Amino acid sequence: MNSRNLSPIALLTLATLSLLGINNNTWAQVDRSKAPEPGPQPEIAIGDYTLHTLDNGLKLIVVENHRLPRISWNLTLDVDPPLEGDKSGTASFAGQLMKSGTEKRSKAQIDEAIDFIGARLSTSAQGAFASSLTKHADVALGLMADVVLGATFPEEELEKLRAQTLSNLAANETDPGSISSNLRRRVMYGPDHPYGDVDTEESISAITREDLQLYHETYFRPNVAYLVVVGDITPDDALAKVKELFGPMKWKSRPVPNPVIPVPMRPDGNQVVFAHVPGAVQSVLHLVHTVRLQPGHNDVVPVSVMNSILGGGAFSGRLMQNLREDKAFTYGARCNMSPDDLIGSFDAYANVRNEVTDSAVVEFLYEIKRITEEPVDAETVKNTITNMTGSFARSLERPETVARFALNIERYGLSKDYYRTYLERLAAVTPEDVQRVAQAYLRPEQLHITVAGNKGEVAASLARFDADGEIDFYDAFGRKASNLEAVPEGMTAADVIEAYYEARGGLARFEKLKSLVEIGEMQAGPEMVLEVKTQTVFGEGMHTEISMAGAVMMGQTVTPTFGVNNQQGTQLPMSVEELATYQTSLSSTEYAHLEDMGYEAQLLGIHPNRGNPVYIVEIRKDGSTTKELQFDAESGLLMQVNRAQKSPMGPLQITETFENYRDFEGLLFPTLQTQTANGQQMAFRMTDIQPNAKVDSSLFKK
Amino acid sequence: MKIHNACLGLMLSVLALPALGQIRNVEFDEFTLKNGLHVILHEDHSTPIVAVTVMYHVGSKNEDTTRTGMAHFFEHLLFEGSENIARGEYDSYVENAGGALNANTTQDRTFYYELLPSNQLELGLWLESERMLHAKIESIGIETQREVVKEEKRQRYDNQPYGQLLPTTMEAVYSEHPYRWTPIGSLDHLNAASDEEFMDFYKKFYVPNNAVLSIAGDIDPKQTKKWIKQYFEDIPRGADIERPSIQEPKRTVEYRDTVLGKDALPMIVQAYPIPAQGTPDYYAVEMLNKVLSGGESSRLNRRVVEEDQLALFCGAFSFGLEDPGVTLAFSMANMGVDPAEVEQAMNEEVNRMKRDLISNRELEKLKNQIESEFIQSNASMAGIAESLANYHMYFGDADLINTEIDRYLAVTKEDIRKAAQQHYNENSRVTLYFLQDPEASK
């Protein structure tokens, strides 16, 4: 504006208005204090596709897009993967090796031909893919046809791949990601489901060339195949090319096996499973369970909204907000509930630093439960839907997206307008829908809580999340592992036992003990207290009486030569086996002289038992195990004894615990002892223990 | 006779060049605001989306030697909000609008982007301008993001197989230049930095004259320019930025070392210093690496992996940086193979490149590969926006998005051999063996 042409008053007005910040210039002041409103909703158009079925059953889908001079060809087999078991890896090998030699070309020739035109060619157990610039399309497609139809699986190439794969497996043995993946697959699906197959050194070594040929001949058949073409080509041209290279003269249809695959069972109660990663500073944590949900089901859309709220999206999922933004446990926490033709899955995961692994599990369980119990507020649902709408729109930038839609419609039998109506159906999802599907599909009490991490630092803290209180340990390949930690070098069972007596007052003092009287009580019911009295003369006999209100109800007498159980007057002689199990009680140093009594003791390792590490010592006689002793690694005291005992009802697994050690005349004795068998527990509280008290030997007469 | 043959050869080599006319040109508009902010706009109505991106010319090489990791840390900090955006709301604005967002940091620059439905362009401009004008740099954000970055470091480097490879290699290659540390930096440095230091970093580098605003997608250029002026014009220009000008001294004797770690298979890494990106020699080096490593028919793969079966994989790629970077040639040995054997095979292939010219067919292969990559690289709006910003920031010429390919296609067989002779020298390289520590499997 030229100020020379304005009157002084106009100038003054303008100047004043400018000072006040109001002017009639071309740009208005912008209000930064709040977010701007969006413009009108743009139209979202989904491209079209054509479908043609060849005489051999091959289904050709074409998505025409001339934006860039390139064409891609994607062959997909619509088959369930076969169960491979001890030849796990066969299908994958067959897929990879298709490209390693055909009747017409060696691998080197195939590689050179593809690289020369700057194209891509890949093959897999479930198909093949090729892409190139338009001008090279005939060459690229010809190469793809050659590998799909003419693969010969040269022995030399098989051995090369095998050597590489074995090296890779060796590398993966310490890779937390691979370890976690193997663990999850194995526990979720089990060994009888194709999804549970895990490649191992043994399985890879067992694969033969015949296996590969058989796989290829069986599954690469046109009647189960879809060929999706995307890019700079018309449907007619695509059809002509495909007929020539993949038509009935070149590729014969044949029935493909379709066995019934069992549905894997979920665990009763949450199970913690752990695989050790040497030197790990983070735990790879995945909480998983199977989900029965197939693609195209009406619940798939509300499930995806629920999933997004719980743990989808980039940053706004509840898991991310809780575990990263609020607690800074992790770089990323997310979840995925995925529908699948065979069996779907739910996986909530994060990599968290060692010290907070247990706290992270608490938060995961909290968020998973919360979304089933509390309805999500309407605004969150609305925002999630907007977010997913945007994501859908953005995915349309790539023509491959339309191709994927076309393939899904055909293979899953979705309605032709499934994707055209997707946004409408998405917009219709309500908070009630979200809660309904959360309750229908989430199983916060049937999770496998899988951890690949540092066993020594992390495992013990996770036992409380397991329904049985016991963590199952696995190796890097999903195989059950010994859950015992190696003991310090040179330590033996004898060392542990010696430490035990030292902790109790010294082995020498126990050697000198002549007799022992133990008096205690047991709560047998609300009003019923039983008195227990055990009198022992070491080397001679042990006599136990259980009384109620002074009247003896049960008793037991054990000597080196006989044993008898007393039930209200009836004498029941003990079997030889039962008597043998009590012999060690006749010694005041029952575990220090096991060898003399014909027993062997072996230190098996360290085990975390309810959060406390314990030494496990196994006692054997004549080759069979008689007892397992657990000594607290810190205090040295005996905490638990596990043994089996024959009974009229069959072998009984008996667990005895020893707690609350107290001092009686300078020696420590446990004042709380429990005995659990057949699901029943008896607890004895010792009120008095008298070392070297007088005992009447006539108690030990038959 | 000879002249006739030479003409024929010349004609054939000209014909071998791809017809560049058929390659789509990326059109764009650009201008600079008074405060120094450079703006680039690319219009494309194929899909109703828009990429709103800002590139700041600050990376790990701008950091103080006792405060490494700042640039990357800022990438996290700038999601914490601004004077008008409450903590935790930055992400929500984008996601609730149906968009996606992220950022990344390299040695040379930090890049922020939002992908939005096209009717939310103004939102994107508001968000990025808020960041630039008055991002919130305060204690609670700093504390939280410290922990997040610690986890990122654990996940990406400490707990990842061979996660220490790059940091260890860069530290061995560079003794003076800031490239010796990687963007993630040091947690100790981050812990030691005071809140004021963070604020100083922001005031120094997060200014319009140090930034490029690059937008690509379904936009109305007229309205876009109007909004850009409204949101960005008033942001005050900052002081001129002093760029580090440290010359890494030339290495004259090879440095070799063995590094012990947890990973089972030996990894051999060789780092050769190379010229900075954009220099004439750089393109020859890139083409050289393509011969060595582009595709399964490449020299290193064929010799080391396929024929001699010494390794699981073997390749070479250039770490092209603003200041002279490195080519990394690396290989993961097969189980039971002596790493020295792998290295010998790699060295022999590199020496072959110094001795013999590649064939005409190999050269044609390279050009076809370049052409294919070039055409497919401009497929997404986010990719185009980032390319335009890169080309302007590093070379002052956004049109390189259309013309850089010519520099590749101009490289001759002789250039490639010369590049190998000049830059892939035993004496100037660093060779590291990453082996498993025998104590590690506990």
The alpha carbon of residue B312 is apart from the nearest alpha carbon of chain A, in Å, by 5
Q: Please compute the mean of the pLDDT values over residues A533-537 and round it to a whole number.
A: 95
Question: Which pLDDT tens digit goes with each residue over B311-361?
Answer: 999 999 998 899 999 999 999 998 889 999 999 999 999 999 999 999 999
Residues of A in contact with B119 (CB under 8 A): 38-42
How many contiguous H segments (helices) and E segments (strands) does chain A have? 20, 25
**Six-digit token string for A318:** 């509840």
Return residues 333-362 of A near B (CB < 8 Å). 351-353
How far apart are the CA of A113 and the nearest CA of chain B, in angstroms? 9
Give residue-wise pLDDT tens across range A456-490: 889 989 999 999 988 999 999 999 887 667 777 88
Domain(s) labelled CATH 3.30.830.10 in chain A stretch across 50-178+194-246, 265-399+409-474
Counting Cα atoms < 13 Å in the Cβ hemisphere of A240 gives 6
With CA atoms as reference, the chain B residue closest to A134 would be B372
Q: Which of A422-431, A650-659, B249-258, B377-386 shows the lowest mean pLDDT across its residues?
A: A650-659
Which alpha helices (H) appear in B356-435, and where do they start and end?
A: 360-377, 381-395, 400-409, 413-423
Q: Do B365 and A118 touch (CB under 8 A)?
A: yes
B-chain residues within 8 Å CB-CB of A69?
22-23, 375
Beta strands per DSSP E along A583-636: 600-609, 612-621, 624-632
Q: Is residue B6 over pLDDT 50?
A: no
**pLDDT score of B217:** 97
The strand order across the sheet containing A120-124 reads A50-53, A59-64, A225-231, A70-77, A127-133, A120-124
| Residue A515 · residue A537 · CB < 8 Å | yes
**Is residue B257 within 8 Å of residue B432, measured between CB atoms?**
yes
The Cα of A133 is separated from the nearest Cα of chain B by a number of Å equal to 6
ipTM: 0.86
CA A210 to chain CA centroid, Å, is 34
- The closest alpha carbon to B314, from B328, B67, B196, A51, belongs to B328
Please tell me the distance in Å from B267's CA to the nearest CA on chain A. 11
Q: Judge residue A542's burial from the number of C-beta atoms within 10 Å of its C-beta, 0-12 exposed, 13-18 middle, 19 or more buried.
A: buried
Superfamily of domain A50-178+194-246: Metalloenzyme, LuxS/M16 peptidase-like (3.30.830.10)
Contact A174 B95 (CB under 8 A): no
Q: What is the CATH number of domain A485-693?
A: 2.50.20.10
pLDDT tens column, A21-63: 444 333 456 899 999 999 998 888 888 899 999 999 999 999 9
User: What are the pLDDT digits (tens) for A132-159?
Assistant: 999 999 999 999 999 999 999 999 999 9
Domain with CATH 2.50.20.10 in chain A: 485-693
pLDDT at residue number A484: 65
Residues of A (30-69) whose Cβ lies below 8 Å from B: 30, 32-44, 67-69
Chain A neighbors of B15, CB-CB under 8 A: none
Q: Give which of A77, A97, A121 is closest to A227, Cα–Cα.
A: A77
Q: What is the DSSP string of A52-116?
A: EE-TTS-EEEEEE--SSSEEEEEEEE--PPPP-GGGTTHHHHHHHHGGGBBSS-BHHHHHHHHHH
Taking Cα atoms as reference points, which of B62, B107, B41 lies closest to residue B324?
B107
A150 CB near a chain B CB, below 8 Å?
no
Given this model, what pLDDT does residue A23 score?
40
> CA-to-CA distance for A547 and A551, rounded, in angstroms?
5
Q: Residue A550's pLDDT is what?
A: 84
Alpha-carbon distance values, B424 to B171, B320, B419 (Å)? 19, 15, 8
Q: How confident is the model at residue B441 (pLDDT cuts 50, 70, 90)?
A: low
pLDDT, one tens digit per residue, over B91-122 is: 889 988 989 999 999 999 999 999 999 999 99
Poorest-pLDDT segment among A307-311, B82-86, B155-159, B165-169: B155-159
A160–B265 CB contact, under 8 Å: no
Nearest Cβ partner of B126 from A35, A281, A386? Answer: A35
Mean pLDDT calculated for residue range B161-184: 92
pLDDT of residue A611: 63
Q: Which of A201-210, A256-265, B370-379 has the highest mean pLDDT?
A: A201-210
Among chain B residues, the shortest Cα distance to A325 is held by B144
DSSP string, A308-369: HHHH-TTTTSHHHIIIIIIT--EEEEEEEEE--SS-EEEEEEEEEEGGGHHHHHHHHHHHHH
Pairing of strands A225-231, A59-64: parallel
Question: What mean pLDDT, rounded, does chain A reach?
Answer: 90
- What dihedral angle (degrees, nearest 10) is formed by the CA atoms of A134, A139, A145, A151? -140
CA atoms lying within 13 Å on the CB side of residue A96: 13
Closest listed residue to residue B132, CA positions, set B36, B245, B14: B36
Separation between Cα atoms, residue A307 and residue A429, nearest integer Å: 13
A316 touches chain B (CB under 8 A): yes
Q: How confident is the model at residue A651 (pLDDT cuts 50, 70, 90)?
A: low
At residue A157, the pLDDT reads 96
Fold of A265-399+409-474: Cytochrome Bc1 Complex; Chain A, domain 1 (3.30.830)
pLDDT category of residue A15 using cuts at 50, 70 and 90: very low
Lowest-confidence pick of A131-140, A436-445, B242-251, B282-291? B242-251
Q: Chain B closest CA to A105's CA: distance in Å?
A: 14
**Is A278's CB within 8 Å of B101's CB?**
no
Q: Does A701 touch chain B (CB under 8 A)?
A: no
Q: Is A565 left (phi over 0), alpha (psi -120 to 50) or beta?
A: beta
Contact between B91 and B101 (Cβ < 8 Å): yes
B134 exposure class (CB count in 10 Å sphere: 0-12, 13-18, 19+): middle
Cα–Cα dist A434/A430, whole Å: 6
**Candidate from B23, B100, B440 with C-beta closest to A391:** B100
Residue A407, SS3 per DSSP: helix
Q: How far is B272 from chain A (nearest CA, A)?
A: 26
In tens, the pLDDT along A87-123 reads 999 999 999 999 999 999 999 999 999 999 999 999 9
Per-residue confidence (pLDDT) for residue A598, from 0 to 100: 84
Between A269-283, B101-115, B279-293, B402-416, the lowest mean confidence (pLDDT) is in: A269-283
- H helices of A505-654, where? 507-511, 576-582
Query: Taking residues B171-183, what's their average pLDDT?
Result: 95
Distances (CA, A) of B178 to B6, B65, B269, B424: 49, 7, 20, 22
| Nearest in space to A354 (alpha carbons), one of A254, A447, A462 | A462
Instruction: Give the H or E element holding residue A680.
Output: strand A680-691
A658 neighbors A669 (Cβ within 8 angstroms)? no
Q: Which residues of A touch B49 (CB under 8 A)?
A: 393-394, 397
Average pLDDT estimate for A669-677 = 89
Radius of gyration of chain B (CA): 24
Q: B33, B44, B47, B374: best mutation site toward chain A, by most A Cβ within 10 Å?
A: B47
The answer to which of A182-186, A473-477, B59-63, B394-398 has the lowest mean pLDDT is A473-477
Give the model's pLDDT for residue B20. 43
Backbone dihedral region for residue A527 (phi beyond 0: left; psi -120 to 50: alpha; all else: beta): alpha
Determine the distance in angstroms separating the CA of B241 from the nearest CA of chain A, rounded to an integer. 28
Contacts 24+ apart (CB under 8 A), A408-412: A408/A295, A408/A296, A410/A51, A410/A59, A410/A61, A410/A226, A411/A76, A411/A78, A411/A226, A412/A294, A412/A295, A412/A296, A412/A341
Nearest-CA neighbor of B433 among B331, B306, B345, B313?
A: B331
